[in-house]
Amino acid sequence: MFKVGIVGGTGYTGVELLRILSQHPEVTIQSITSRKEAGMAVSVLFPSLRGRTSLAFSDPIDAGLEKCDLVFFATPNGIAMQQARALLDAGVRVIDLAADFRIKDVAVWEKWYGMQHACPELVAEAVYGLPEMNRDRIKNARLIANPGCYPTAVQLGFLPLIEAGIVDLDHLIADAKSGVSGAGRNAELHTLFAEASDNFKAYGVPGHRHLPEISQGLSHMAGKSVGLTFVPHLTPMIRGIHATLYAPLTKDTDLQTLYEKRYADEPFVDVLPVGSHPDTRSVRGSNLCRMAVHRPQGGSTAVILSVTDNLVKGAAGQAVQNMNLMFGLPENLAINHAPLFP
């Protein structure tokens, strides 16, 4: 058994992490922090966890995080970078579910996130936690930058095409949709029921914070810069990411075989049969990314449909997948549950 701590456990990602870790046979949750809710039993704030944990929220100062083997940061951007150095110096491994360590160019990060980075010296060390790309590096990492929800679905969808070198890298398009839980648990006008229900809209078209993260990942795959148009949308559902990806083909290739071979040994990527259309409900509550490959009318454009649960494979589940790799555990331990239906 090893000990973990969670910093920032009152949001949707934090409670999803608690739900998964409370069922993990090799983990003891040492502490979960919240300044506002310090002293409150976790099961009072989240009745769904009644009988699963006896922990109460603690103030970060009193949490004893330095005694943990690993600490998860399920916090807003800008928090993990303030505390990661002290934990690493104490021998604690860190997984940040926010964006503090995802973008390697610190100046680019500061531009998109509007703040000065507190520990730029750690950015180069941080390993980007997409196991399908970086599995071997994740195993030996001290610091993991857990990918964002949109970037996970988009990068996994484009990966086989780019690795094979069969697409025009200057004209990639990602048309992606997210459920409202992706906006977090704070009360905001655009996520109120009367605003989000029975509605559908694009946002962040001039530029979204996940754009540089996705572009960085795709460029790393390609070995050179790529041209990406990324348009996110808000949908009237709670969970889910649906990414429709467009890539002009430069070579005639059996796309179905390409994808099936690339992901044959990946426990959390499911390539559906020819002609399929994955829906977000088919992955709800699971750590799966399901995708389908199309070439409409046999033309020159590949269309990839990629769906995930933004709170699981797009956040907490992927973080536990990374943790399992870091500690030499079976990669699917505690995250191999079937999706919820309906």
- Does residue 73 lie in a domain region? yes
pLDDT tens, residue by residue, 280-296: 999 999 999 999 999 99
Q: Are residues 87 and 222 in the same domain?
A: no
Q: Are residues 25 and 98 in the same domain?
A: yes
Instruction: Tell me phi and psi for residue 74, to 5 degrees.
Output: -105, 60
Give me the domain span that covers residue 64: 2-125
Q: Which of 68, 119, 149, 289 is catalytic?
A: 149
Q: What is the CATH number of the domain that holds 109?
A: 3.40.50.720
Judge contact between 235 and 177, C-beta under 8 A. Answer: yes
d(CA 99, CA 216): 13
Active site residue 149: yes
Are 23 and 333 in contact, with CB atoms under 8 Å apart?
no
Domains of the chain: total:
2
The whole-number pLDDT of residue 47 equals 95
Do 169 and 278 lie in one domain? The reply is: yes
User: pTM of the prediction?
Assistant: 0.97
H-helix or E-strand spanning residue 159: helix 149-164
**pLDDT tens column, 116-131:** 999 999 999 999 999 9
Residues found in the chain: 342
Alpha helices (runs of H) in 191-290, residue ranges in sequence order: 193-196, 210-222, 255-262
Helix axes 317-326, 131-139, angle to 10 degrees: 40
CATH number at residue 196: 3.30.360.10
Kindly give the parts of the chain with pLDDT less than 50: none
pLDDT tens column, 297-319 = 999 999 999 999 999 999 999 99
Going by C-beta distance under 8 Å and a sequence separation of 6 or more, which residues neighbour residue 54? 41, 43
